[in-house]
Structure 1
Amino acid sequence: MSQEQTGVDLPTSIGYLLKETASALRAAMESVLRPLGMTVTHYACLELLAQRPGSSNSELARGTFVTRQSMNVLLQTLERDGVVARPSEARTGRVMPTELTDRGRRDLAAATAAVRSVEDRMLGELDEDDRATARRLLRSMVHALRQGD
């Protein structure tokens, strides 16, 4: 039995192509964020806080696809650097809502412009109909996979 018959045809495997795309996108984003002193997770955290002020550590971890422990370490660093602010004590339970500071909003603006340039490059050969189709297809794939959870 040949390997071709038992394996996945990588050039036509949607899963493999998605992983290759995600890897290339992350590398390109890291490249433009590195000079700003950020990682993709750092940027994603700031973006989430701009859109969902007061998010908890757990919410931010889920939204950036990292563990709660990793997010806690990042938030401690961002708080120390004056990028985010958290109350000294939880208002209720153990939740420590986090918000961007003025510095955090400035850092985010620079990072957003850098990341947007990467996304524009990635989508440069697609017209608006193709972009809409890609968004619809990707959402459909995520939905289908989450149905099994």
Structure 2
Amino acid sequence: MTTHVKLEALGRAVKQAQWRHHRAMESRLTRIGTTLVQWDSLRAISERPGASAHELANATFMSDQAFGTLSKRLLAQDLIVRAPGAGRRVEHRLTRAGEKVLREGSEIAEAYFLETFADLDDDERDTLYDLLNRIGR
């Protein structure tokens, strides 16, 4: 008889991996004066120049209100600019300072990702990616 992992244990393992990932990234990103949430928001803005706050909130797994609060901090730090778009839309773009923080943060993230997934070969990484996307739908 095959013994399978309990679903609760599987859920906790996913949560534990996410928690460790966030803590490690947070501590590494503080070295350049940013946070994981800020870096991820800069990444999202870079990938979607001119995106609205709502689009960026969805891309970063935040509520519209939380992203609005964060964007005010990014604006105060001169990391982004906001400009009126069509209708009531407010568009977001990175400043040079924002591009620099994004670039430095991306180097940190890449090094951490290499470390994190070093024990998995390419096929295992592909499988993990596919499985996480399947349950994340």
TM-score where L is the length of structure 1: 0.82
> What does the per-residue CA deviation read over 1:36-75, in whole Å, with 9 as the maximum and x for residues that have no partner?
1111110110111111111111111122122222211211
Which amino acid counterpart does residue 69 of structure 2 have in structure 1? V
Aligned to 1:113: 107
Aligned to 2:90: 96
Aligned to 2:19: 23
Which amino acid counterpart does residue 76 of structure 1 have in structure 2? K
Aligned to 1:130: 124
Give the distance between the partners of 1:65 and 1:101, measured in 2 at CA: 23
Superposed displacement of residue 93, structure 1: 2.7
Give the distance between the partners of 1:22 and 1:91, measured in 2 at CA: 35
**Structure number with higher strand proportion:** 2
Does residue 1:58 correspond to 2:67, yes or no? no
Aligned to 2:136: 142
Q: Which moved more, 1:29-38 or 1:63-72?
A: 63-72
Superposed displacement of residue 22, structure 1: 0.4
TM-score where L is the length of structure 2: 0.89
User: What is the DSSP-based 3-state SS (H/G/I as helix, E as strand, rest coil) of the residue aligned with 2:50?
Assistant: coil
Which amino acid counterpart does residue 19 of structure 2 have in structure 1? S
Give the distance between the partners of 2:111 and 2:42, measured in 1 at CA: 18
Give the distance between the partners of 1:126 and 1:46, measured in 2 at CA: 28
Give the distance between the partners of 1:36 and 1:44, measured in 2 at CA: 14
Give the distance between the partners of 1:116 and 1:101, measured in 2 at CA: 22
Percent of pairs identical after alignment?
29
Aligned to 2:39: 43
Which amino acid counterpart does residue 98 of structure 1 have in structure 2? H
Q: Which runs of 5+ in 2 are unaligned?
A: none
Give the distance between the partners of 1:26 and 1:132, measured in 2 at CA: 21
Q: Which runs of 5+ in 1 are unaligned?
A: 1-7, 144-149
Q: Which has the larger radius of gyration?
A: 1
Which amino acid counterpart does residue 47 of structure 2 have in structure 1? Q
Superposed displacement of residue 9, structure 1: 4.7
- When the two chains are superposed, the root-mean-square deviation of aligned CA atoms in Å is 1.7
Give the distance between the partners of 2:132 and 2:85, measured in 1 at CA: 38
Q: Which runs of 4+ in 1 moved over 4 A?
A: none
